[in-house]
Amino acid sequence: MAVFSYVDGDYRAEQVRIRDIAAACGTPFYCYSRAGIEAAYRRYEDAFRGFDVTICYAVKANSNQSVIKLLAALGAGADVVSGGELRRALAAGVPPERIVFSGVAKTEDEIELALEHNIRQFNVESAPELETISRVATRLGRTASIAFRINPDIDAGTHEKISTGKSENKFGIPWQSARKAYARAAELPGVRVAGVDMHIGSQILKLTPYERAFERVATLVETLRADGHDIDTVDLGGGLGVDYDRNTPTAPSPEEYAVLVGQLLEQLGCRCIIEPGRSLVANAGVLVGSVIYVKEGDQSTFLIIDAAMNDFLRPSMYSAHHGIAPVKLNGRADRTYDIVGPVCETGDTFARQRTLPEQVPGDLVVIEGAGAYGSVMASTYNTRLLVPEILVDGDDYRVIRQRPDYDSLIGLDLDWAEGVRAC
């Protein structure tokens, strides 16, 4: 569904004009669509109807409490990768029995917190982590349900910085070592072997890597069962890509994904966990900025906006393509711009040689597909304030994270004379 569109030349989020939000809140800001998030979730729900599946939202994609609460109200669980994300999920009302804890470096404190809340499952990523979970669970008199995250050594064809399923990546247990790892888990107190977990990357745009990975998972489940393990769950991770360029759709659909899961894994009789993140929120969000200057260079014309790489890191970090559009269709002739921010880094570039109707200082632009891995990766580099987040619902909107002030930001620093020796 088109939750962002032009109506009478005005760019709107659902029924709200973006320029009206900008007038009230200033720029830059993130804007999310409730209808867009709900529609994306229900598409997964419909695609997997008839499956015994738990949809656990990958909180790392967008951890705003309002977003998590919205998805929890629809029935979503949560995939968390830190104690902080676990606390966010619990605070947003996600039932503990719908929470899975992933991540390569779970600390004893984080494991204890998860055990105290009796979460559904730990996705274990190493032998030392397994020993730690057993030790903490035994001390607390609890039993931890675990699945090993298996690294299938499969190239998902994604950017090298978001690849997680190849042998050189830091994630998971090598698939060749799985039987040994499960045998050790069966020996340990405080641990119950529940399933097999796999996550091969992010922004995956073809089903072929999933097919190869699912085949390997199915074979492993049968092998582990033959070894005497009661494997009742397969966690398929997330990673399904989205179309950041609406003009050239390439991403597989949840429906196609569900068909593949059924074909390759349904015969196992396992419960399934899926962990979509990006595909639930990316295209339900935009980043809005104002034009500060138009600078004529020798080789390029620079459109300098007030949003920057510290607000939205994906273009700089991943060379990611995002649609960029004017907030007002002004009827001016097209011009070609390099669209950049004010941060003192050449990498602070959102797009090169992008054609837009002529823009002048004060005009507003939107960077599309910014609902995932946007605000969660933001920083205060160059002493820039974190930007507000707005959630639109029909013809209304609310600020769901305020813009902080400079006194609060600078006040985090302590003078030497006021400093302490413990944190």
Domain that holds residue 95: 32-277
* CB of 78 closer than 8 Å to CB of 103: no
- Residue linked to tokens 């040994």: 180
Q: At what angle do helices 208-226 and 254-265 cross, to 10 degrees?
A: 30
At residue 148's C-alpha, the angle toward residues 131 and 73, to 5°, is 110
422 found inside a domain: no
Q: How far is CA 2 from the centre of its chain?
A: 21
Tell whether 309 and 203 lie within a shared domain. Answer: no
**346/249 same-domain check:** no
Q: Do the Cβ atoms of 56 and 275 come closer than 8 Å?
A: yes
The string of DSSP letters for 297-324 reads: -SS-EEEEES--TTT--HHHHH-----E
Residues 255 and 294 occupy one common structural domain: no
Residue 393 tokens read as 């619902």
Q: Are residues 257 and 139 in the same domain?
A: yes
Same structural domain for residues 27 and 40?
no
Coil, strand or helix at 189: coil
CATH of the domain at 17: 2.40.37.10
CATH code for position 215: 3.20.20.10
Query: Are residues 303 and 225 part of one domain?
Result: no
Residue 420 falls within a domain, yes or no? no
Burial of 36 (0-12, 13-18, 19+ CB in 10 A): buried
Report, as ranges of residue numbers, the positions in the chain whose pLDDT lies below 70: 1, 153-171
Of 258, 277, 296, which residue sits at a domain end? Answer: 277
Residues in CB range of 244: below 8 A, 6 or more apart: 282, 283, 320, 321, 322, 323, 368, 369
Supply angle C-alpha 381, 384, 389, rounded to 5: 110
Choosing from 224, 252, 277, the residue where a domain stops is: 277
Residue 209 lies in a domain: yes
C-alpha dist (Å) from residue 106 to 56, 77, 151, 201, 386:
19, 19, 18, 20, 27
Q: What are phi and psi of 328, to 5 degrees?
A: -125, 125
What is the reported pLDDT for 162? 41
Q: Is residue 142 domain-shared with residue 183, that is, in the same domain? A: yes
Catalytic residue among 270, 272, 344, 423: 344
pLDDT, position 176: 84
Q: Which of 247, 241, 249 is nearest to 279 (CA)?
A: 241
- Does residue 270 form part of some domain? yes
Half-sphere exposure at residue 383, Cβ-oriented, CA atoms within 13 angstroms: 9
The answer to the question of residue 9 being in a domain is yes
Total domains in the chain come to 2
- Cα distance between residue 162 and residue 277, in whole Å: 13
**Residue 56 among the catalytic residues:** no
Asked if 339 and 350 touch (Cβ cutoff 8 Å), the reply is: yes
Q: What are phi and psi of 360, to 5 degrees?
A: -130, 160
Say yes or no: 270 and 342 in one domain: no
Q: Are 244 and 285 in contact (CB under 8 A)?
A: no
Q: What angle do helix axes 127-140 and 108-116 make, rounded to 10 degrees?
A: 50
Residue 183 lies in a domain: yes
**Same domain assignment for residues 25 and 36:** no
DSSP-assigned letters across all residues of 364-387? EEEEES-SSSSGGG---GGGPPPP
Domain end: 226, 252, 277, which one? 277
Same domain, residue pair 12 and 46? no
Residues in the chain: 423
Give the residue from 32, 41, 34, 35 showing the smallest Cα distance to 254: 41
* Same domain, residue pair 64 and 195: yes
